[in-house]
Structure 1
């Protein structure tokens, strides 16, 4: 290919940051929900109930009687939440470049922090869901999932977008 034809070749625009946040957040949400489904499924809980428990953040206990619409609401709500979590890391990393230079450490700490912030503070204090106590093993699995499926991927996506 000549230099002239290379110069005239169409330039493929980079995908906007919002696209990567939504894709990363949706993937993280579905993987995290798969972990929840495996854990709770082994204890006899139907997967629908997991999605409905997220819908209950907005609707309260009525979410468990809402059928497919509340299952869909839970999926969309959780994907949206984790898309925001992904985007927040990217924004923080622009302000604090060490988060880009140390994506594994920064992402792991971020993921664990986001789990605590969302599930130990925001959901119990700000949602319409009825608080339920869980065993420490469940929290340990959730923190590990948030580190591996949310925090570190958020850091790696932010790093890719910065370059």
Structure 2
């Protein structure tokens, strides 16, 4: 038995990656908006729930904040799982997880802001705050790296377990 076998691998690792990347993203967003605009953290979670409820999410209190939190981590799980599935077929994603993860994160930024949000009850994202846009793009690149790192089995990059479907 290899040492890597005793570490978290496979789908539990995807869940762990969703937790780590999701927390990093929430701490970033909550910190940014609290420091720069005085927006309370619960409102960030409610803004995520706005995808379901629109403006009504901001009057829903803890309930809509909870929906926002669950939605956020579910989306993050899908992000990590998607990278994992793609990495089983595309060697470059396993060989260069940091570079490809950063590219993946930028793709996620574009997907969320120009496809998912416009199709949701939240509507098109606002790009008025240049500081937020720049910081958000950088954070999405980091999120992509985290997705890649946790999507791959222990021993990444290029872990043979993932390449052979064992992870």
TM range (shorter): 0.7 to 0.9
TM-score (norm 2): 0.82
In structure 2, the partner of 1:118 is: 112
After superposition, the C-alpha distances for 1:40-68 in whole angstroms (9 at most, x for unaligned) are 10211111111000001011111111111
d(CA) in 2 for partners of 1:86, 1:13: 21
After superposition, the C-alpha distances for 1:68-124 in whole angstroms (9 at most, x for unaligned) are 111111011000001100000011111101110011111010011111111232112
* Alignment partner of 1:108 out of 97, 102, 112: 102
Q: How many residues align?
A: 151
1:158 to 1:26, Cα distance in 2 relative to 1, 3 A = closer
Point out 4+ residue stretches in structure 1 off by more than 4 angstroms: 12-16
Structure 1 residue 14: Cα displacement: 6.9
Structure 1 residue 157: Cα displacement: 2.0
CA RMSD of aligned residues (A): 1.9
Pairing 1:158–2:145 present? no
In structure 2, the partner of 1:32 is: 25
1:33 to 1:92, Cα distance in 2 relative to 1, 3 A = same
Structure 1 residue 160: Cα displacement: 2.4
In structure 2, the partner of 1:9 is: none
TM-score (norm 1): 0.84
Pairing 1:53–2:40 present? no
Q: Which has the larger radius of gyration?
A: 1
